[in-house]
Structure 1
Amino acid sequence: MRTVFKVAILMVFIKAEAQSSALAVADSLYAIGDYTWAINHYAQSNVSNSSLQIARSYNALGRYDKAIAQYEDVVAKRPEAEIAGFELGKLYLKTKSFEEGRKLFSKLIASNDSNPEYHYYLGEIFTELNQPASSLNSYKKAIEKDSQHLKSLFRLGKYFVLKREKETALRYLNQGLDVYPDDVSLINLKALAYFNNDEHHVALPFFERLVELGEDKEYILSKLAYCYFKSWEFEKARTIYDRVLSLNDENADAYYHLGIMHLKEQQADSAHMYIQKSIEVQTPVLATEYEALARIERIRENPRKALEYYQMAHQEAPEVSMLFHNVCTLADQVYDNPEKVLPFYEEYIDRYGNEKGYAIEVVKKRVSQLKQEIHFSKK
């Protein structure tokens, strides 16, 4: 009897050793990223943590359907397994299973309301479900639990930057920057909050800081250059626009503003070259470039060519009455025959007669003058 008992104990010991050995091997394989073999060894172990590790391995392999099934099995058998529930919730979000994720994170919050990550991820799910009020509420709860929760502060800052609510955006962004002053995402949003509010001189140092931190992407350099341009720091603007063009030689905005800087400095030929290049790289062509070329031709005292460019600009943006007003005034300079000029002004009235302001009154007065000139010329 004692012999049988000893054999039984020995068998249990051997089995435990085997399972322990399989778990150790599985953990080693998992640690070096050999997930398929790790799954095989975890399956040989009856240790409770093995099921969770199998789920993690499938997740790492990108086999999300199997990972979800394994996680769900763990959570069903051990509802108190909070870590497994958290990982499953993030996987629901990743696989766009938003309703399942909403239910799971709501359940996690009900059992542990103090965890800011749960509120943050519930906010992410509400964002994906296009429920902004609920998502904002979740992000705010996350920073109530942890005032330094950068991901939630970023989300709130981004939302209010897009809504152009500068002061509210800055409140959250500054709160995050107090924690991590060199967070490039928060600095970028702060720069945009000022930039979108036309406070280019205030936005400028934040874009400079982004470049110092290695964020020399095209869109950041373009905004930095524009801030220099708006601050009349043309040499710095030119230098940065040259960097933009080294990254993308079809950046129409860079060519356009280089042209405008030359125009402001009365360098008509250089201005014309850059504006023309801006037009060449654009599809479709925008009215602002043709309007700039027209202004260049006026400086060159070439009203006929300026008229052509204003007519082209008007074709691109027929809703802008001022463009056609310039067509009328230039036609007045180009043609010495009132019968040729009158149709331009009459077309202006037909198109924009319902507008109010000084321009329409000037046009109506000029129509009367032209009709009188035509009348007296026929006597």
Structure 2
Amino acid sequence: MDKMEQGIQLLQEGKLEEAAKCFYEEIERNPTNELAYVNFGNVLQAVGDTERAISFYKKAIELNESLATAHYALGNVYIDTEKYEEARYSFEQALQHGLQESDVYFMLGLTHVYTGNDLLALPHLQRAVELNEEDIEAWFQYGLTLARLQHMEEATKIFKRVIEKDAEHADAYYNLGVAHALKEEYDDALRMFEKAIEIQPDHLLAGNGIRVVQSERN
């Protein structure tokens, strides 16, 4: 087993310091191994050293501009540090260089969500759930985006799908409550808000929803 394989195994086992040593030794032995830079960046990101992680991902891209995994990793650091435009560019580069995976579309969609452009977010989130029907968070964000774009009937179907996959998803119940309240279906709305509170007692929005519905019914 070479240093790269050892490092990846150690990284998967959560042995970050030992993994970092393997990747660093590989970089010293072969300074043009772009994957070693990506993996060392992964370790740095895992321990919260985002600035150095960025530099290692950028070095990997400098060595191989078409290395999609480096662009994707760089995008994740940028989105974690709320640099959404930089994140968007990185995820687009990952797609352009062949990483046509659900996670990439999902993260790209989130960059548009976080910058307030739901119209651009929607097709990426839709593609994410097409590629991975088991990604509950992607389904939820897709539903939220539909709701913000006033496609409430479609959004309601998505939120119902979310709770079919995760019966403890308090936010999905809350948003179903909102959908029912907008249609003045107050009994159904109240039931959804109460379910959200049952799952998450400190769900402030659901608590407020209950008060609003009760005032409307009175």
Aligned to 2:200: 283
CA change 1:90–1:240 in 2 (3 A) is: closer
- TM-score relative to the length of structure 1: 0.52
Fraction of identical pairs, as percent: 24
CA change 1:278–1:148 in 2 (3 A) is: same
* More displaced 10-residue stretch of structure 1: 151-160 or 198-207: 198-207
Aligned to 2:212: 295
**Structure 2 residue 94 is the aligned partner of structure 1 residue 173:** no
Residue pair 1:154, 1:185 contacting (<8 A) in 2 also: no
CA shift, 1:124, in A, is 2.5
- The answer for unaligned runs of 5 or more in structure 2 is none
How many residue pairs end up in the alignment? 218
**2:38 alignment partner, SS class:** helix
Aligned to 1:252, which of 166, 170, 181? Answer: 170
Structure 2 CA distance for aligned equivalents of residues 227 and 288 of structure 1: 18
**Structure 2 residue 27 is the aligned partner of structure 1 residue 109:** yes
CA change 1:103–1:238 in 2 (3 A) is: closer
1:70-81 to structure 2, matched below 5 A, reads: none
**2:200 alignment partner, SS class:** coil
Aligned to 2:138: 220
**1:182 alignment partner, SS class:** coil
CA shift, 1:215, in A, is 3.1
Aligned to 1:150, which of 58, 68, 72? Answer: 68
CA change 1:126–1:217 in 2 (3 A) is: closer
CA change 1:109–1:205 in 2 (3 A) is: same
Residue pair 2:68, 2:99 contacting (<8 A) in 1 also: no
Q: Describe the superposition over 1:310-349 as per-residue Cα deviations: whole angstroms up to 9, x where unpaired.
A: xxxxxxxxxxxxxxxxxxxxxxxxxxxxxxxxxxxxxxxx
Q: Describe the superposition over 1:34-54 as per-residue Cα deviations: whole angstroms up to 9, x where unpaired.
A: xxxxxxxxxxxxxxxxxxxxx
Aligned to 2:157, which of 239, 250, 260? Answer: 239
Residue pair 1:160, 1:168 contacting (<8 A) in 2 also: yes
CA shift, 1:254, in A, is 1.9
Q: Describe the superposition over 1:274-331 as per-residue Cα deviations: whole angstroms up to 9, x where unpaired.
A: 223322x32324222222122223323x2xxxxxxxxxxxxxxxxxxxxxxxxxxxxx
Aligned to 2:129, which of 211, 224, 233? Answer: 211
CA shift, 1:92, in A, is 4.9
Q: Describe the superposition over 1:176-225 as per-residue Cα deviations: whole angstroms up to 9, x where unpaired.
A: 11112622221111112122334333222111111221333222211111
CA shift, 1:144, in A, is 0.6
Q: Which amino acid aligns with 2:135?
A: K
CA change 1:291–1:88 in 2 (3 A) is: closer
CA change 1:294–1:122 in 2 (3 A) is: closer
More relative contact order, 1 or 2 (CA 8 Å, 6+ apart): 2
1:1-379 to structure 2, matched below 5 A, reads: 56=1, 84-94=2-12, 98-99=16-17, 101-180=19-98, 182-279=100-197, 281-300=198-217, 302=218
* More displaced 10-residue stretch of structure 1: 258-267 or 145-154: 258-267
What is the CA RMSD across the aligned residues, in angstroms?
2.4
Structure 1 CA distance for aligned equivalents of residues 143 and 116 of structure 2: 14
**2:199 alignment partner, SS class:** coil
CA change 1:175–1:273 in 2 (3 A) is: same
Q: Describe the superposition over 1:114-151 as per-residue Cα deviations: whole angstroms up to 9, x where unpaired.
A: 22112222223333444322221111100111112122
Structure 1 CA distance for aligned equivalents of residues 159 and 23 of structure 2: 47
Residue pair 1:164, 1:193 contacting (<8 A) in 2 also: no
Structure 1 CA distance for aligned equivalents of residues 33 and 98 of structure 2: 21
- The answer for unaligned runs of 5 or more in structure 1 is 1-55, 57-83, 303-379
Q: Which amino acid aligns with 2:205?
A: T
Q: Which amino acid aligns with 2:62?
A: E
Aligned to 1:23: none
